[in-house]
Amino acid sequence: MSDPLALLPLAIAAGGGRIGAHGSDRADDFEAQQLVAAGLTLLQRSAPLVRALSGKRSALLLPTSPAFLTALAASDGRGAVLINPLAAPAEIAFQCHDANVGALFTISSFVPRLPPHLPAVLLDESPRSARVLVDGRSYDVDLGAHHGLSIEGERDVDGRDEEAVIVYTSAMRGTPLGAVLTHRNLLANARATIEAMEIVSTDHVFAILPYAHLFGLTVTGSAPLIAGARVTTMERFNPVKAVEQLASGVTVITGVPAVYRAMLTAIERRDVRFEDTVLRLCVCGGAVLPIELQHRWADATGIELREGYGLTEAGPVCLFNRPSAPNTRGTLGVQFPGVDVAIFPPADYERNVAPNVEVEPLPDGETGEICVRGSNVSPGYLHAAHGLPRRGEWLYTGDEGVRDDEGRVTFLGLLKPMFTRNGFNVYPREIERVVGAMPGVTKVVCTAIPDPAKENDILLRVNGDVSEADVKRWCEQRLSVYKQPSVVEVLGR
């Protein structure tokens, strides 16, 4: 039998970390081991759930919370589809169908968005109890009497080459693809995060990013808990409350540029001082970090805002400005432990393929496409017809950059057809496909509107016999919150 610590949930449980929700007393923190044990107990005590999951995957539609670990453990080593809490009903239904999901772990307030007849597990009272909804019947499962886990194994064992999670991304062609991340991928990146960010058991990490996003799950969930640290989650980001939390012993925070900009506004308005805090590391990723925001954050807090870089298909982190070296503002930093990064001639994103000839990495100082390889890189998307844009071992990221002679990479722009909004990827072709299916629409063009607070807003130019209100209502029913158009221009037929 392979080492149990080769499975992500069991490796997290063995780390000895604790996790609690924002606003609760520290006494309400849970041991990660307790949460994982609750998930395994759920499977042991719910035959209807086991039958529903037989031969199928699970799905997690949950806010960033301790319950996420219980759901991950209850997935029992099968691939768990991580669904963004902001997803629309149509997106949830598509992902569950495409990934052959047998049961979905969620909370009561999300139930109205679920596909009808799909078995669901409500974790509102996790880890004390769960409610299983199958075939129109409800089963309450007591999880409070579960026993702690006793796990023996090698702490640095390689993860299994089996599905751990599936994350839908890369809608460059119009339809999102499910990127498969194995236990090996996620454990490699989590351990690299511990090393690069110097996370230790005395750290207190503030988790405000969605765990459905690998940036949140790996950097503010898996890594600190494996290191034995404490994690505090925030289900819905509130900049004022987030700033207050920073003064309560938080040592590490991770966010996207929009999060830091919102917190900075709260800091400046309230004249918050950071002289007496233990905050030591502020990490930013998910979207381009304006250098002026780095300057303002450092001036306001006295702490450098260190930029990193990654993508879902790489587990996700590939580059980072490490705290062991001076922060080089305006760069993505150097390659992550265990990750090779090079600059290659760009791939062809119209055909979604890497160059069809053997090519060598470009010399330092030359502009090209950022490419990565390592144990963190996904084996591919769910369906074999959709391969990763790669050449040999190298994954082509769709991002343009340049590397200097000290290994620091600077982001120069996007080669793939997408942009970011509040740290989330937006693919124009996906929005054009969804709106183009609306009765009366003959043509749709989706473009970005630069916005300093959100990175970008969304503009739709629509031809057809429809109204602006009709288009917005159509989008609300079928697209995530962050994909909703800010401006709709109806141009007639």
428-436 vs 468-478: helix crossing angle, rounded to 10: 110
pLDDT band at 377 (very low <50, low <70, confident <90, very high): very high
Q: How far apart are CA 448 and CA 463, in angstroms?
A: 18
Cα torsion 141, 181, 234, 456 to 10°: value is: -140
CB 230 within 8 A of CB 251: no
**Mean predicted lDDT score pLDDT of the chain:** 92
Domain 237-414 architecture:
3-Layer(aba) Sandwich (3.40)
Is 144 a residue whose pLDDT tops 90? no
Of residues 157 and 384, more confidence is placed in 157
- Give the other-Cβ count within 10 Å of 251's Cβ: 20
What does 314-333 look like in DSSP terms, one character per residue?
GSSEEEE--TTS---TTS-B
Residue corresponding to tokens 């969605």: 210
pLDDT in tens, 238-289: 999 999 999 888 999 999 999 999 999 999 998 888 888 899 999 999 999 9
% of residues, the chain, pLDDT over 90: 83
- Give residues with Cβ within 8 angstroms of 350, minimum separation 6: none
pLDDT in tens, 284-318: 999 999 999 999 999 999 999 999 999 999 999 99
16-42 average pLDDT score: 88
CB 233 within 8 A of CB 65: yes
Looking at residue 489, its amino acid is E
Q: How far apart are CA 310 and CA 286, in angstroms?
A: 8
205-211 average pLDDT score: 97
pLDDT in tens, 469-484: 999 999 999 999 999 9
Q: Which contiguous run of DSSP H or E holds residue 274? A: none
378-387 average pLDDT score: 81
Q: What is the pLDDT of residue 387?
A: 74
Q: What is the CA radius of gyration of the chain?
A: 22
CB 67 within 8 A of CB 126: yes
Is 217 a residue whose pLDDT tops 60? yes
181-193 average pLDDT score: 97
Looking at residue 250, its amino acid is V
Taking the alpha carbons at both ends of the chain, their separation in whole angstroms is 64
57-63 average pLDDT score: 98
Q: How far apart are CA 425 and CA 440, in angstroms?
A: 28
Domain boundaries, the chain: 237-414, 419-490
pLDDT band at 28 (very low <50, low <70, confident <90, very high): confident
CB 164 within 8 A of CB 153: no
Domain 419-490 architecture:
2-Layer Sandwich (3.30)
CB 462 within 8 A of CB 489: yes
pLDDT band at 96 (very low <50, low <70, confident <90, very high): very high
What 3-state DSSP class applies to 347?
A: coil
Of 64-68, 80-84, 383-387, the poorest mean pLDDT is in: 383-387
Q: How far apart are CA 221 and CA 20, in angstroms?
A: 11
Q: Max CA-CA distance within the chain?
A: 67
pLDDT band at 384 (very low <50, low <70, confident <90, very high): low
Structure token pair of residue 76: 């029992």
330-338 average pLDDT score: 97
% of residues, the chain, pLDDT over 70: 95
128-143 average pLDDT score: 94
Q: What is the pLDDT of residue 1?
A: 45
DSSP, res 153: S
Q: How far apart are CA 128 and CA 66, in angstroms?
A: 12
Q: What is the pLDDT of residue 388?
A: 79
Whole-structure pTM value = 0.95
